[in-house]
Chains A and B, each alone.
Chain A
Amino acid sequence: MKKTLLSLRNLTKQFDGKTVLDSLDLDIADGEFITLLGPSGCGKTTLLRLMAGFEHPDAGSISLAGEELIDVAPENRPLNTVFQHYALFPHMSVFDNVAYGLKMEKRPKDEIRQRVEEALAMVQLQDYVARKPHQLSGGQQQRVAIARAVVKRPKMLLLDEPLSALDFKLRRTMQVELKRLQRELGITFVFVTHDQEEALSMSDRVVVFKDGVVQQLGTPREVYERPANLFTARFVGETNFFPGRVEAADAGDSITVDVLGLKRTFRRPDFAVVDGQSLHVLLRPEDIRVLAPDDTEGLPGRVVERNYKGSTLDSVIHLEDGTEVLASEFFDEDDPTFDYRLGEPVRVSWVDGWEWLLPEESAAAEAEAVTDA
């Protein structure tokens, strides 16, 4: 583990009596790309604004390399922000926008010119110095905003949903670009998004938020493959939930679970299980195997929807008890006829060991996880 750059302790913020952040603890390591992921209103943007200094917390501390930041004005914090809608100064040229931060530091003219040119070259905008922001496309404005924020060589860059206003293709390009920039500059990136795919593909670590509380903190892989609770499981990616009942909990490293009448053996989960306990069996669509109806394995069902996605074939299968299962299968090069008819009977199974078990939560928590995700 690298050394901690920013550490948040017991951070609490309320707006008009509503708690937006609830005694949050978080350590951000030097040089990492960390993403704050959550639905809108979960407190992730508020957290970013607290770090930048635009909001003052009701309790708690924010320390950067050991130095307390709470009472430091935003202009004196060694962090810079890339705003959601860029917030470029409309009356200034691209050059003046990027130079603004350096002018505030009263740097010599030559140095400013050189560093602005470097920053613009980094985002491939060196030919646009004289343009005004409104003469640029969305993607170009985005690049200017990034150049303006990194030109001061901050210890940390805060990015507030910077890609949300861009179209799909451009967003993809900018994701790669941001990742490259982060590697080259070695600056810590704190990235806020509600897009789980973006979070997974860019980050070293992901913090999943809901209602101002951290639901899970981990690498993209941990968050996707081993979600800590139902909310994370539903929010990050598509998931199939099968109801399970523990048949035998005392069989060493594995347990036997009844899934809709099917007996399967699973790895023992890291929560305590007893015989007869209900739990959730989680399977991602790509873990599902669709078998022929005469197969002996799996659960019987019917195909009710099929979507051709190019590289995969996504289908929705209704099991006999009414459970809906999403399956995402890669095309089999050796089987050119690989496809389903609607209403075709199939059997649904999965690769052993790819499942993930979660305990049942309170009815209220389960209902909430469904509505939020």
Chain B
Amino acid sequence: MSRWLPRAYLTLVYLLLYVPIGILVLFSFNDSRSGYTWGGLSLRWYQSLFNNNAMVEAMWNSLWLALSAATVSTVIGALTALALHRYRFRGKKMLNGMLFVVMMSPEIVLAISLLALFLLVGIQLGYVSLLLAHVTFCLPFVVITVMARLSGFDERLPEAARDLGASDFTMTRTVLIPVIMPALLAGWLLGFTLSLDDVVVSTFVSGPSYEILPLRIYSMVRVGLKPEVNALGTLLLVFSLVMLMLSQWILSRSKR
């Protein structure tokens, strides 16, 4: 009894977590038109997904946006983290706190304020507004990831490099960046994922000129669940699994 109960509980938890995903993957190969009956194996929904030009375009848009947002926020975030780690200056505590404000504030608040800002400044809603918005909400995550790595960073390493004849710039390139590389990659991947599946902020700041995947799916689902969505979900799942394994592999390879 005492052994049986925890196991059953654990099984239930995992079932609740994975059965919906399993069903989604399974039904993406379903030949039946209805989402509720099994009609045999088929790849027709994948085919129809790739024939759906609007969908493919939204996919590429999303990937490109996630790629650029993650890269921009990693560059800015890493520099911010370095500055916060290395220098003592007035307002450092406040700057640090403000990062958390961005991270903790409800997404809807961020979305509305960004929209208001873009309208005020006159930025056309589209790729640029999406990029700015995504960089904004990815930034604190990158900064915190890199800062965590830097806090365990041996302060003597830069000194050792300088001592051996490296200029500040060469030291940064040959010692600092390689050592914090895992954190940079982790931050980048985090930003990439956050950007890829964001709905709330994107809904507010996107325009008709640049449609992205989560919004496309959202509008598709509103008019009824098509099996195409299952195929898309499966592809996204595989994609994120690959990304996850990649990041784990990079992390384990560059351990220490």
Contact = CB atoms under 8 A, between A and B. Distances in A.
B175 interface: yes
A105 interface: yes
A75 B256 contact: no
B159 A54 contact: yes
Interface stretch (A83-91, A260-268, A273-281): A83-91
Given A81-B163, A87-B159, A152-B165, A134 B154 contact: no
A101 interface: yes
A80 B157 CA distance: 14
A75 B154 contact: no
Given A81-B160, A87-B160, A91-B179, A132 B256 contact: yes
A293 to B, nearest CB: 58
Contacts of A73: 162, 167
Interface in B173-197: 174-175, 178-179, 181
A100 interface: yes
A81 B174 CA distance: 19
Interface in A52-81: 52-54, 73-76, 79-81
Contacts of B170: 104
A148 interface: yes
B157 A89 contact: yes
A87 B160 CA distance: 7
A146 B135 CA distance: 45
A104 B160 contact: no
Interface size class of A (residues with CB under 8 A): 20 to 34
B166 interface: yes
Contacts of A132: 256
Contacts, number: 66
A104 B166 CA distance: 6
Most chain A CB within 10 A, of B157, B160, B163, B175, is at B163
B163 A75 contact: yes
B164 interface: yes
A80 B159 contact: no
B178 A74 contact: no
Contact of A148 (B156, B162, B164, B178): B164
> What 5 A-B pairs come out closest when comparing CB atoms?
A104-B165, A87-B156, A101-B164, A87-B160, A74-B162
Interface in B209-225: none
Interface in A78-124: 79-81, 83-85, 87-91, 100-101, 104-105
Contact of B178 (A52, A76, A91, A105): A91
B254 interface: yes
Contacts of A75: 162-167
A88 B256 CA distance: 11
Interface residues of B, number: 20
B161 interface: yes
Contact of A52 (B163, B166, B181): B163
30 contacts: A73-B162, A73-B167, A74-B162, A74-B163, A75-B164, A75-B165, A76-B165, A79-B163, A80-B164, A81-B159, A83-B156, A83-B159, A83-B160, A85-B156, A87-B154, A87-B156, A88-B160, A89-B161, A90-B157, A90-B256, A91-B178, A91-B181, A100-B166, A101-B165, A104-B165, A104-B166, A105-B165, A134-B256, A148-B160, A149-B164
Interface of A: 52-54, 73-76, 79-81, 83-85, 87-91, 100-101, 104-105, 132, 134, 148-149, 152
Nearest to A105: B165
Contacts of B154: 85, 87
A83 B166 CA distance: 16
Contacts of B159: 52, 54, 74, 81, 83, 87
A149 B162 CA distance: 12
Nearest to A106: B165
A76 B164 CA distance: 9
Contacts of B256: 90, 132, 134
A151 to B, nearest CB: 9
Contacts of B179: 89-91
Contact of B157 (A53, A74, A87): A87
Interface in B142-171: 154, 156-157, 159-167, 170
Contacts of A100: 161, 164, 166, 174
